[in-house]
Structure 1
């Protein structure tokens, strides 16, 4: 197929269709009617010689050819968007733009929730897509599939080929059920090892709190492992378990009578939440504005 004969506007629709795997949701994403999106899918199928999305029960799923297009297509569109915005002034009051930020549930709740609340007032047509952090964090930043990542500096590899900036420092506290009469107003090192422990991992990685306790040679009586810092405290009521979570997250629970929050009986080194981005994004006025909004929001939660 010759490039000159292909309508490049179809690529934006194709990206939405492959991301949503639904004609109706893709139509909503691009703010067009479902019949128009159905017609666009038909044009794409004809132009590319592949059905792209096929029926699987009540849902649609990508063909192998469509799946092979998804990542390179997202990367190409990201580069085109960067090119279009590279020299233009950014007016948050009128700009229509979407940013993708990689973050875990803790950063999403503590930082990005407040960021989105602020943007509703100062940039009504700017949206933020929050994607989970995984092992592909660096690759997604390198390929331009995400604008920013929020991640603890202590868990980043050394000499990363990206720019970064510390947003705020965080430490840890213990949380247990308020009715847990085994623990009083304090918790001892011996109780850290003997009481049933709810570990809160960061995906497949042990939390930084657990890493610090391992370094201090403090064993734990692990009764349960949660894959979410935010969910972990809500698994405690009615049990004798305790967990260790970030102080700012615990502060959100203070008004809830179900929880007892205790200082750790030994010092655990604080962590530093970093904002990370590709140098290719550095000169983009919109990206510069986004980073400044992250700094302002981080100052509000500090």
Structure 2
């Protein structure tokens, strides 16, 4: 026997109230978000406090702070709410042309500017009511990827970061080195020696966020002097133009980066491992016909991509 309350006796509307309270940390603001009166939401907070035997919101001076339990709940509440929405939004028969579904996908600005843009273009022709929400992944998201993917539709990220999840290979790309137009050290090409002497801008640099090419540099015995880390590939030219810095970027972004006229792209002086991009998702979405349709759109979009060659 268990003394835990039966799910049938719980008011799932309290989950909506809890999510708003944890987000806003204010009864007044949460009530405004939900278009409820303040007394109605205060009553919900009282029921939540009784259920959890915890204040949830604790007054600190003129404001409220989340209790330790509330901080733990915040990690799961939005996921649970999104999952509940998916359950009740599901339909026995689904027509893309009539759908207003939103597909949410994690990725980098590189994946958004390439296959994400192409997928939106294809979907807009066949399902004008469907929309995509593209969200930047972070090291914290990748570290908790299995839980995060329960409440979103997928993550676009190359092989080498995720395991034990279903995936769809999308497109293959290659690495180029970004340098300023006026950088004299690269005018006649690059050498391995120069890679170790010149400063760098890395796009990611942590245990779970990195690029395969930056790891490859270290495997070649080159320890790059990193002057800046920016979690954006499209921002690289702003940190490299007018300096001696170098950066690594996928060839698929060549046109976007060269548009400024301030940087050039150079073939690396080593055999850089290609990038194999993929769409990953949680097994819970495997039999969802809407998700299957979305995967097909991304497969079509990837087929339209090719890595341009710039030297």
Shared fold per TM-score greater than 0.5: yes
Partner of 2:146: 141
- Give the counterpart of 2:159 among 149, 153, 159: 153
Higher mean displacement: 77-86 or 189-198: 77-86
1:125: how far off?
4.9
- Give the counterpart of 1:177 among 175, 180, 184: 180
Superposition RMSD on alpha carbons, in Å? 3.4
Could you tell me how far apart the structure 2 residues matched to 1:72 and 1:249 are? 36
Establish whether residue 269 from structure 1 lines up as the match of residue 273 from structure 2.
yes
Partner of 2:251: 247
Aligned length: 295
Cα displacement string for residues 115-146 of structure 1 (whole angstroms, at most 9, x for unaligned residues) = 44655563435442515242553644356133
Residue ranges of structure 1 left out of the alignment (5+ in a row): none
Alignment of 1:162-241 (within 5 A): 162-184=165-187, 186-204=189-207, 205-241=209-245
TM-score for both structures, normalised by structure 1: 0.79
Say if 1:76 and 1:270 are closer, same or farther in 2 by CA, change over 3 A.
same
Could you tell me how far apart the structure 2 residues matched to 1:26 and 1:91 are? 35
1:82: how far off?
4.5
SS in 1 for 2:221: coil
1:283: how far off?
0.5
Establish whether residue 36 from structure 1 lines up as the match of residue 36 from structure 2.
yes
Partner of 2:137: 132
Residue ranges of structure 2 left out of the alignment (5+ in a row): 307-311
Establish whether residue 291 from structure 1 lines up as the match of residue 303 from structure 2.
no
Higher mean displacement: 40-49 or 248-257: 40-49
Higher mean displacement: 168-177 or 184-193: 184-193
1:168–1:273 Cα contact (<8 Å) kept? yes
1:88–1:285 Cα contact (<8 Å) kept? no
Higher mean displacement: 202-211 or 137-146: 137-146
Say if 1:6 and 1:259 are closer, same or farther in 2 by CA, change over 3 A.
same
TM-score for both structures, normalised by structure 2: 0.77
1:86–1:283 Cα contact (<8 Å) kept? no
